[in-house]
């Protein structure tokens, strides 16, 4: 199914998820399980067409985007936000270590730097700098709510996917966010950036900006906003959310003895752990997604916002 995704929709997603939006600069975002309809059309515009896709852990089936809020424009790139099946297979011999899937949320600091520094494949990238929640699978080739969660920094960066297109079956990603294309590096015959990665890299590296927020959501989240354009929708709180409603959530979780520590307005590791523990207790292990919407809020006795 295809739908029109507008710059106003990514702004609306930030509003509904209580994600902070800086006044200026570029924001990076990922949409898991959808692709740009025009995989070669990487230009900035106010809207683009997206197509929902099933994530298969073999081909790139996601979108990475660049957002210029001050200009009201977005650029979309074919990508993957999940690990390739080959890395998952290897990770099974190590109880899931070696491959992971980043959970949806807001990550405030992807910093310019090199991916695999010191190697012949080292190239311009955007590096993780702090811990974050990831899932690891030790039994199959996908990531579900009953797979274990860890809070760690696996040094999964945002970089080139080392593949030609969305039908390539060998993209390079064990948990990184990767854009279709090839990088310029010291490896023989890789003298230039190629494909969508070339545009993505040039767009960001020509800016003086060194640190980039990164928003990761699902393609179905984007579709929901597009279909209900202009309608009130319930808030979703998840990792990286920030604001007064996060404090109220912490108070409710503390009352149920799932949250310890100070009350603040930031949905970080302590709040995230409290939410998944509460959801497992209340709904069972298959239902703990770490996202607080109307169902979780109702069981906590909270009056939930629609905006």
- pLDDT tens-digit series, residues 63-117: 999 999 999 999 999 999 999 999 999 999 999 999 999 999 999 999 999 999 9
Say whether both 42 and 129 belong to one domain.
yes
Structurally, how many domains does the chain consist of? Answer: 2
Say whether both 102 and 160 belong to one domain.
yes
Last residue of a domain, one of 179, 207, 225: 225
Secondary structure, 3-state, the chain: CEEEEEHHHHHHHHHHCCCCCCCCCCEEEEEECEEECCCCCCCCECEEEEEECCCCCCCCCEEEEEEECCCCEEEEEEEECCCCHHHHHHHHHHCCCCCCEECCEEEEEEEEEEECCCCCCCEEEEEECCCEEEEECCCCCCCCCCCEEEEECCCCCEEECCECCCCCCCCCCCCCEEECEECCCCCCCCCCCECHHHHHHHHHHCCCCCEEEEEEEEHHHHHHHHHCCCCCCECCECCCCECHHHHHHHHHHHHCCCCCCCCCCECCHHHHHHHHHHHHHHHCHHHCCCCECHHHHHHCCCCCCEC
Last residue of a domain, one of 198, 225, 252: 225
pTM of the model: 0.97
The enclosing domain of 277 has a CATH number of 1.10.101.10
Last residue of a domain, one of 199, 225, 251: 225
Residue 285 above 90 pLDDT? no
């Amino acid at each position: 199914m295809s739908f029109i995704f507008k710059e106003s929709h990514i702004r609306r997603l930030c509003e509904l998820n209580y994600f902070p939006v800086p006044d200026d600069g570029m924001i990076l975002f990922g949409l898991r399980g959808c692709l740009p309809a025009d995989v070669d059309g990487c230009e900035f515009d106010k809207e683009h067409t997206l197509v929902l896709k099933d994530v298969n852990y073999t081909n790139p089936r996601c979108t990475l985007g660049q957002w210029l809020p001050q200009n009201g424009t977005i650029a979309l790139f074919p990508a993957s936000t999940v690990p390739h099946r080959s890395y998952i297979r290897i990770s099974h011999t190590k109880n899931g270590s070696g491959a992971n899937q980043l959970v949806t949320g807001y990550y405030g600091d992807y910093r310019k730097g090199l991916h695999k520094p010191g190697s012949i494949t080292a190239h311009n990238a955007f590096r993780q700098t702090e811990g974050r929640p990831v899932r690891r699978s030790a039994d199959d080739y996908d990531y579900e709510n009953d797979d274990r969660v860890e809070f760690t920094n696996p040094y999964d960066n945002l970089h080139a996917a080392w593949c030609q297109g969305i039908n390539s079956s060998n993209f390079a990603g064990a948990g990184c966010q990767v854009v279709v294309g090839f990088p310029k590096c010291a490896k023989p015959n890789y003298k230039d950036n190629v494909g969508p990665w070339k545009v993505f890299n040039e767009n960001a590296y020509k800016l003086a900006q060194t640190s980039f927020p990164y928003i990761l959501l699902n393609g179905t989240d984007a579709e929901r906003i597009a279909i209900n354009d202009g309608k009130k929708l319930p808030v979703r709180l998840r990792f990286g959310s920030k604001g007064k409603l996060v404090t109220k959530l912490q108070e409710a979780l503390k009352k149920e003895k799932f949250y310890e520590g100070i009350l603040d307005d930031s949905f970080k590791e302590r709040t995230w752990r409290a939410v998944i523990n509460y959801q497992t207790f209340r709904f069972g292990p298959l239902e703990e997604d770490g996202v607080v919407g109307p169902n979780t809020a109702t069981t906590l006795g909270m009056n939930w916002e629609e905006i």
